[in-house]
Chain A
Amino acid sequence: MRQQSRTRAARWIFITPFMVMFGLFFAAPIVYAIVQSIFAEKGSALGFGPPETVFVWFDNYSRAMSDEAFRESLVRLVQFAAILVPLMVVTSLTLALLLDSGRALWPRFFRVLYFAPYGIPGVVATLLWGFLYIPATSPVLEMLSTIGIEIEPLSSGGVLFAIANIALWVFAGYNMIILLSALDAVPAELYEAARMDGASAWGLIWHIKLPLVRSSIILVTVFTIIGTLQLFVEPLVLLPLTTAIDSNFTPNLAAYNQAFALGNPNLAAAMAVIVALLGMVFSFGFLRAVNRKGNRAW
Chain B
Amino acid sequence: MLTACSSADDDDTSPDSSADGTEGSSGEVVELTFQSWVPNIDQAVDAFNAAHDDVNVTLETVTAGPDGGYATMQSAVQAGNPADVAQVGYDAIPDFLINDALEDITDYVGDSADVFADWQWQTGVFGDRVYAVPQASGPLGQFYRKDIFDELGLAYPETWDDYYEAAKAIRESDSDRYIAAFAFNQAPWMIGLAEQAGASWFSIEGEAWNVDIDSAETAKMADFWQRLIDEDLVKIVADFSNEWNADIQNGDIVTWISGSWADAILRGTAPDTAGSWAVGAMPQWDAGESVSATWGGGSASVVLKGSENPEEAAEFALWLNSDPESVSILTSVGAGWPAIADTSQIESLQEDPEVFDFYGGQDIWDVFAESDANVDTSWTWPPLSSTLFSSLTDNVKAAVDAGEPIADAYAQTETDMVDALEQRGISVNE
Contact = CB atoms under 8 A, between A and B. Distances in A.
A43 interface: yes
Given A44-B425, A47-B426, A51-B98, A241 B238 contact: yes
Given A48-B127, A248-B394, A134 B243 contact: yes
Interface in A214-257: 240-241, 243-248, 257
Interface residues of B, number: 47
Interface in A7-48: 40-48
Interface in B129-162: none
B242 A43 contact: no
Interface string A164-205: 000000000000000000000000000000000000000000
B427 A45 contact: yes
A262 B398 CA distance: 19
Contacts of B400: 243
B178 interface: no
Contact of B424 (A43, A69, A260): A43
A51 B383 CA distance: 12
Interface string B84-109: 00000000001101111000000000
B111 interface: no
A44 B424 CA distance: 8
A131 interface: yes
Nearest to A127: B242
Interface stretch (B10-18, B203-211, B212-220, B292-300): B203-211
Contacts of A147: none
B113 interface: no
Interface string B183-209: 011000000000000000000100111
A289 interface: no
A54 to B, nearest CB: 8
A277 interface: no
A211 interface: no
Nearest to B235: A136
B11 to A, nearest CB: 26
A252 B394 CA distance: 16
A263 interface: yes
A43 B425 contact: yes
B430 interface: no
B387 A262 contact: yes
B25 interface: no
B386 A45 contact: no
Q: Is the interface of A mostly helix, strand, loop or mixed?
A: loop
Most chain B beta-carbon neighbours within 10 Å: one of A47, A49, A52, A260: A47
B238 A43 contact: no
Contacts of A45: 207-208, 426-427
B246 interface: yes
Given A51-B100, A136-B246, A241-B238, A43 B383 contact: yes
Given A48-B98, A48-B126, A137-B246, A261 B427 contact: no
B423 interface: yes
A130 B242 CA distance: 10
Interface in A242-298: 243-248, 257, 259-263
A148 interface: no
Contacts of B66: 261
A43 B98 contact: yes
Contacts of B345: none
A156 B245 CA distance: 23
Interface in B204-263: 204, 207-209, 236, 238, 240-243, 246-247
Given A51-B100, A246-B394, A134 B242 contact: yes
A48 B421 CA distance: 12
Contacts of A207: none
Nearest to B425: A42
B386 A262 contact: yes
A260 B66 CA distance: 9
B384 A262 contact: yes
B390 A262 contact: yes
Most chain B beta-carbon neighbours within 10 Å: one of A241, A243, A245, A248: A243
Contacts of A248: 394
Interface string A107-136: 000000000000000000000001100101
B174 interface: no
B241 to A, nearest CB: 6
Contacts of B240: 240
Nearest to B127: A48
A130 B238 CA distance: 14
A247 B126 contact: no
Given A45-B207, A46-B204, A46-B426, A241 B243 contact: yes
27 contacts: A41-B99, A41-B424, A43-B98, A43-B424, A43-B425, A44-B425, A44-B427, A45-B207, A45-B208, A46-B204, A46-B209, A47-B383, A49-B100, A51-B425, A63-B423, A134-B243, A136-B246, A240-B185, A240-B238, A240-B240, A241-B238, A243-B398, A244-B397, A244-B401, A261-B66, A262-B384, A263-B70
Given A46-B208, A47-B98, A136-B243, 20 more contacts: A43-B425, A45-B427, A46-B204, A47-B94, A47-B209, A47-B384, A47-B425, A47-B426, A48-B383, A69-B394, A131-B242, A156-B402, A240-B238, A244-B397, A246-B393, A246-B397, A261-B386, A262-B384, A262-B420, A263-B70
Interface of A: 40-52, 63, 69, 130-131, 134, 136-137, 156, 240-241, 243-248, 257, 259-263
